[in-house]
Amino acid sequence: MCSFSLTPDTVQYNQLSKEELVQLVVEQKKLRLATALTDRKPG
């Protein structure tokens, strides 16, 4: 399971469509992947 979660009580949540929610999750995953790759020490 992805640790990324949205809380329904946020104002933006109610304004997002399902496609936008999916896109938001994808962008979050990309950001975390990029961060993990950046933090990984070579060797």
Q: So what's the pLDDT on residue 1?
A: 44
Q: So what's the pLDDT on residue 40?
A: 77
The contacts of residue 29 (CB under 8 Å, 6+ apart) are: 2, 4
pTM listed for this prediction: 0.47
Q: So what's the pLDDT on residue 18?
A: 82
pLDDT in tens, 1-43: 444 555 655 555 556 678 888 898 999 999 999 888 888 776 5
CB under 8 A, 24+ apart: contacts of 21-26: none
Largest CA distance in the chain: 45
User: From CA 28, how far away is CA 18, in angstroms rounded?
Assistant: 15
DSSP, res 42 = P
Q: So what's the pLDDT on residue 15?
A: 66
Q: Where are the chain's structural domains?
A: 15-42
